[in-house]
A and B are shown apart, each in its own frame.
Chain A
Amino acid sequence: MKQVGFYQGCCFQGPDAHMFDMLKKVFADLGVDIKLVERTTCCGGNTIDEANKFLVYSINARNIALAEAEGLDLLVSCNTCYMVLAKTKHALDNDPQLREEINKLLAEEGLEYKGTAKIWHILPYLVEEVGVDTIRKKVKRPLKGWKVATYYGCHIKYPKEVAVVDSENPSGLEELVEALGAEPVKDYEGKDACCGYHAYYTNKPVALKKVVRAPEGAKKAGAEMLVTPCPLCFKAQDIYQDMVENAPRVPSVYLPELLAYALGYDPKEAGLAYHIIPVDKVTVNAPASS
């Protein structure tokens, strides 16, 4: 089985602790052992940058160095964590002085940032490394007739130097949605709009205006749900959408959850049972055939 280092960040805490087990199982089913890189910490959430950018570079150089020490690449399951780690890699790979300064600090713990580990986001990892065909073959519960709007989120599209998809014409999600037997809805108003997540604790009224934009557009285009490869976009569309009066209440699904369900997991195992905005397409006893 292929092995890749896994960076967990702060995504699998609170009510989302189960997600890590789900991810681990889904990837194992697809032939990938995701090995948690121990001792890695929060990336700073693109927020600690406000206090001290150098600190963000240091903690993420440490995160990457921990994977490198085990000879592993680093797989990241969140758009923002991915962007912050990738920006750090970009900065250190292009600024030898910065790298040296940081390596001096890491030496204390016996670590060194070498720049050898690739930082993967789950979307390109699933498309390029696992392969859409492999996924298609593993589907036990085709999502026949589901109309799923694809929502990429910002931090894998912008800025350009860390983008994992074509920023203006992203792809990958549609192919995956199709492979699961569902029908992707790609073009809708608000597909490129911000999900609002990062503004919730800086300017709530602005955030709540953003939260409904993609769900509204998706609904108008005939989609029954949104799928996103980012657990933060998912949280915004699930928890914060519930706080907006007259919200369209379009359910949002985190990409690995959709995979899990199509691979035959029950809704609890897949995490789909725990959404604030219920995913009504999901039925407990939906047939799974092998």
Chain B
Amino acid sequence: MAEKAVLRIYRYNPEVDQNPFYREYEVPLDEVQTLLDALFFVQERLDPTLSFRFFCRAAVCGSCAVKVNGVSRLACKTRFRDLVEASGGRPITVEPLNFLKPVKDLVVDHDAAFENLKTLKTWCEPKEPIPEREYRIPPEEVKKYERPTNCILCFACYGNCEAVMDDPKYAGPFAFSRVYRYAVDSRVKDEHKREMVKNALEAGDVWSCVQCQKCIYVCPKGVRPAEDIQNVRGIAAEMGFRDYPGVRKLQHFVDWVYATGQINRLALPEEVYGVDPTPLINKFREKGAEVWEVPKPLPGLLEFRDLILEVMKEKKPHLDIDFHHVRRIDKRVEEVFKADVCTRITEKFEEQKSDFFSRFWKKLGEFFGAS
């Protein structure tokens, strides 16, 4: 008997059904290659009322994305056998993508997400003067945005995005990959870049991303929205859009890591939100925990600082070290540890010194014949 697998498919026709429901269908493994084939098998052989979207069948058009066991996937790019193996005999649940209005069964309405994207104005408004012949783009520049350029607007990332889940304004992972892509494109004029980035911050809420990395995981085209988002945030800070908690957090990281080799989690509430951390510190102390208010400076710190400066000289950061802040951190460290950041070096010197004297006394003793 032919091997079969059970598809458990979300069904909903708003014109007739009061509520969505699930229906199970048996699909023989050797008659289908992909999940899309399996959906066709259901529609053609078992239930002609099933609706789903497709076009190219080759992972190009982006229309066939659905949610499979909770994860967004392109139906045409998903090997059916792999799904069957991974599900270990349990039915494979197929549902419409999350966070988009259902139209019928697996078909969703993309319009709202498209409209959001449009408000960001992610397109090329060229610098003047426009060259008479083609643009010449150096390969290093192409390298920066060849990944985001591969986006096929399938909304797989949107359907698994933690930020979309909790912030209805959030424009979606793919949208910020586009912002990044045009923000580093040398053909686009500066004012337009600025406008796009501002839109990403205000209309798109780019600071709501939680950096879960799920968008990278689900993207069928190798786009890495979570990382593009980090770049958009940095570019925004560089353009002067600094009045965001996220920028203050970033400044904390840059300055404290330079100053001490570590961040200082207990200084973050104050530096980002102006909130005094003392009540929290006291809670821990009441429970008997030892609390260090400043991290211990690390050995090798001076070499580490050199490395940071060296790197920043070669590749300019989107946000510079604030050396006034670093001085204040140095002072805190001095107060708490009663020593400056060179302590370790001083310690080493002291060791060598005592070592030297012990050898000296020994020699002297030998000289005078003492034991």
A193 to B265 CA separation, bound complex (whole angstroms) = 23
Instruction: Say whether, besides A13-B262, A39-B298, A55 and B315 are in contact (CB < 8 Å).
Output: yes
Beta-carbon contact of A50 and B257 below 8 Å: no
Any A CB within 8 A of the CB of B196: no
Any A CB within 8 A of the CB of B311: yes
Secondary structure type dominating chain B contacts? helix
- Measured between beta carbons, the chain B residues less than 8 angstroms from A158 are 212-214, 216-217
Choice from B86, B209, B212 contacting A168 with Cβ under 8 Å: B86
- Measured between beta carbons, the chain A residues less than 8 angstroms from B167 are 203, 206
- Measured between beta carbons, the chain A residues less than 8 angstroms from B253 are 42, 44-45, 47-48, 51
A237 to B230 CA separation, bound complex (whole angstroms) = 25
Any A CB within 8 A of the CB of B356: no
Within the complex, the shortest CB–CB distance from A233 to chain B, in Å, comes to 11
Any B CB within 8 A of the CB of A100: no
CB-based nearest A residue for B266? A14
Interface segment out of the listed B22-30, B57-65, B284-292: B284-292
CB-based nearest B residue for A208? B166
Any B CB within 8 A of the CB of A3: no
CB-based nearest A residue for B269? A201
CB-based nearest A residue for B249? A201
CB-based nearest A residue for B247? A50
Choice from A55, A83, A268 contacting B312 with Cβ under 8 Å: A55
List CB contacts (< 8 Å) of A29-51 with chain B: 38-42, 44-51
A115 to B138 CA separation, bound complex (whole angstroms) = 30
Q: How large is the interface on A (under 10, 10 to 19, 20 to 34, 35 or more residues)?
A: 35 or more
Choice from B209, B244, B288, B316 contacting A274 with Cβ under 8 Å: B288
Most chain B CB atoms below 10 A, which of A13, A53, A105: A13
- Measured between beta carbons, the chain B residues less than 8 angstroms from A157 are 217
Beta-carbon contact of A201 and B246 below 8 Å: yes
Any B CB within 8 A of the CB of A247: no
Beta-carbon contact of B210 and A198 below 8 Å: yes
Any A CB within 8 A of the CB of B89: no
List CB contacts (< 8 Å) of A262-285 with chain B: 268, 273-276
Within the complex, the shortest CB–CB distance from A252 to chain B, in Å, comes to 15
A51 to B227 CA separation, bound complex (whole angstroms) = 12
A68-108 vs B: 1/0 string, CB under 8 Å? 00000000000000010000000000000000000001101
Beta-carbon contact of A210 and B162 below 8 Å: yes
Any A CB within 8 A of the CB of B133: no
- Measured between beta carbons, the chain B residues less than 8 angstroms from A273 are 287-288
Beta-carbon contact of B268 and A239 below 8 Å: no
CB-based nearest A residue for B268? A201
Interface segment out of the listed B91-99, B185-193, B301-309: B301-309
Beta-carbon contact of B307 and A105 below 8 Å: yes
Beta-carbon contact of A15 and B318 below 8 Å: no
B274-304 vs A: 1/0 string, CB under 8 Å? 0000001101100111111101001110011
Within the complex, the shortest CB–CB distance from B303 to chain A, in Å, comes to 5
Instruction: Say whether, besides A62-B304, A206-B167, A15 and B261 are in contact (CB < 8 Å).
Output: no
Beta-carbon contact of A239 and B208 below 8 Å: no
Beta-carbon contact of B290 and A18 below 8 Å: yes
Instruction: Say whether, besides A13-B262, A14-B266, A47-B249, A203 and B257 are in contact (CB < 8 Å).
Output: no
A83 to B230 CA separation, bound complex (whole angstroms) = 15
Beta-carbon contact of A203 and B245 below 8 Å: yes
Beta-carbon contact of B231 and A50 below 8 Å: yes
Beta-carbon contact of A51 and B246 below 8 Å: no
User: Which residues of A are at the interface with B, using a C-beta cutoff of 8 A?
Assistant: 9-10, 13-15, 17-18, 38-42, 44-55, 58-59, 62, 83, 105-106, 108-109, 154-155, 157-160, 167-169, 192-194, 196, 198-199, 201-204, 206-207, 209-210, 239, 268, 273-276
10 shortest interchain CB distances as A-B pairs: A39-B300, A41-B261, A52-B317, A158-B213, A15-B284, A202-B246, A201-B249, A159-B216, A158-B217, A199-B210
User: Which residues of B are at the interface with A, using a C-beta cutoff of 8 A?
Assistant: 69-71, 86, 162-163, 166-167, 205, 207-214, 216-217, 224, 226-227, 230-231, 233-234, 237, 244-246, 248-250, 253-254, 257, 261-266, 268, 272-273, 280-281, 283-284, 287-293, 295, 298-300, 303-304, 306-308, 310-312, 314-319
